[in-house]
Amino acid sequence: MVNKYRNACALLIPLRDTLQDNARFPQKIAEYCAAKRPIISTRIGEVAYYFDDNSAILAERYNINDFSEKLVYVIQNPEKCEQIAINSYEIGKKYFDYKSYALPLKEFMFHQIIY
């Protein structure tokens, strides 16, 4: 699926300011990071914790006008958006790749079992 995402000009994760969207983590975002394409989302919930304007294209509101403006921005600023995509890829490697947390998790679990 990641290979298909690489053909997109941008990948969207539209989150609303609702209890549900504030309380969940959009798992799809890890795949989007791996695709190295610009991610367009809203500053809602966990997205705001992991991403900023240097690693995603963040709309202030969940509405068609804000997302349309962000899509136009991607088309008009390919170099800047390429860097944003690279930055989101690095965030994906740091926080969402199992290789980055497998050893600390194993050490934590082993420590809990032993002690």
108 burial (CB, 10 Å; 0-12 / 13-18 / 19+) is exposed
Confidence of residue 64 (pLDDT cuts 50, 70, 90): very high
- pLDDT tens digits for 85-103? 999 999 999 999 988 888 8
Residue-averaged pLDDT of the chain: 93
- Under the banding of pLDDT at 50, 70 and 90, the label for residue 111 is confident
Cα 72 from chain centroid (whole Å):
19
> What is the length of the chain?
115
**Overall fold of domain 2-114:** Rossmann fold (3.40.50)
Q: Look up the pTM and report it.
A: 0.86
15-42 confidence digits (pLDDT tens): 999 999 999 999 999 999 999 999 999 9
